[in-house]
């Protein structure tokens, strides 16, 4: 039986990815519901993370390249007292210190250190490659490799809530910033360790989570094409030419 190719559908979907799905799996669910021939997204979210996933279809997939350099914003929930090997809630605890309970003043002082251009060492649990093999595969084998620090920019860190052991931050950062690494570094500077217990992407470039649709709601739409942003209606700064 010949494989169904789908329809030529052009547009962009602002999807609110649920927890527990890979970005590609969420994209493919949306693509199947649209019956779109061609689809892609502009940046991966880890399965445990939620929030804005920009799904592009047809000629809209040109956006995938133009948005690679886009700044991103996140609502990051840190759990103080424990560091994990992955830097998030999916990992195994590697360091603990529940005796130190930072004050609000301590936290504000440490956060100031991360404003502006900083250097980050990429985590082993990442898709960066060494000799053609993703780092996370080495990590799963118990191998840790030396990684060069990279310069990234933190444009803003807003302290949303602090009630030990939970610290919630809103972070706007440049491309290539690992929020898991930021959480880990903050925890080490506080002396108590930390990991990400939740992560929600709230913006990518000019696109905001407030204008997104949940995957479950999208899959219930009788006419899902109506939820797409037409290419002519995209913000001018994303730079897609439609002719």
Report the alpha-carbon distance of residue 223 to residue 226 in Å, rounded: 6
Of 46, 85, 88, 185, the catalytic one is 46
Closest CA to 93 of 187, 3, 14: 187
Q: Which residues contact 75 (CB under 8 A, 6 or more apart)?
A: 51, 160, 168, 169, 170, 198, 199, 200, 202
Locate 142 and state its tokens: 């118990």
Active-site annotation holds for 46: yes
Strand partners for 72: 173, 204
Say what the alpha-carbon torsion angle 74, 157, 71, 138 is, to the nearest 10 degrees.
-70
The DSSP output letter for 23 is H
Query: Cβ distance 183 to 86 under 8 Å?
Result: no
Query: Cβ distance 195 to 87 under 8 Å?
Result: yes
**Strand stretches in 50-142, DSSP E:** 50-57, 72-80, 82-84, 93-96, 116-120, 129-130, 133-134
Q: Annotated catalytic sites, by residue?
A: 46
């Amino acid at each position: 039986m010949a494989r169904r190719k789908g329809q030529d559908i052009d547009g962009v979907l602002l999807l609110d990815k649920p927890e527990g799905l890979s970005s590609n799996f969420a994209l493919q669910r949306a693509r199947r519901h649209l019956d779109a021939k061609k689809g892609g997204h502009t940046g991966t979210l880890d399965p445990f993370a939620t929030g804005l996933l920009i799904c592009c279809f047809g000629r809209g997939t040109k956006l995938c390249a133009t948005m690679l350099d886009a700044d991103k914003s996140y609502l990051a929930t840190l759990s103080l007292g424990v560091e994990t090997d992955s830097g998030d809630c999916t990992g195994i605890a590697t360091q603990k210190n529940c005796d130190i309970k930072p004050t609000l003043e301590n936290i504000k002082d440490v956060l100031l250190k991360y404003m502006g251009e900083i250097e980050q060492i990429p985590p082993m649990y990442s898709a960066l490659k060494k000799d053609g093999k993703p780092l996370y595969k080495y990590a799963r084998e118990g191998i840790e490799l030396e990684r060069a620090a990279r310069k990234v920019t933190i444009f803003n860190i807003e302290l949303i809530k602090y009630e030990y052991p939970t610290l919630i931050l809103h972070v706007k950062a440049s491309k290539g910033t690992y929020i898991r690494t930021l959480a880990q570094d903050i925890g080490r500077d506080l002396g108590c360790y930390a990991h990400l217990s939740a992560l929600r992407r709230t913006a990518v470039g000019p696109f905001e989570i407030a204008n997104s649709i949940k995957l479950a709601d999208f899959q219930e739409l009788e006419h899902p094409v109506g939820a797409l942003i037409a290419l002519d209606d995209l913000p001018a700064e994303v730079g897609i030419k439609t002719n």
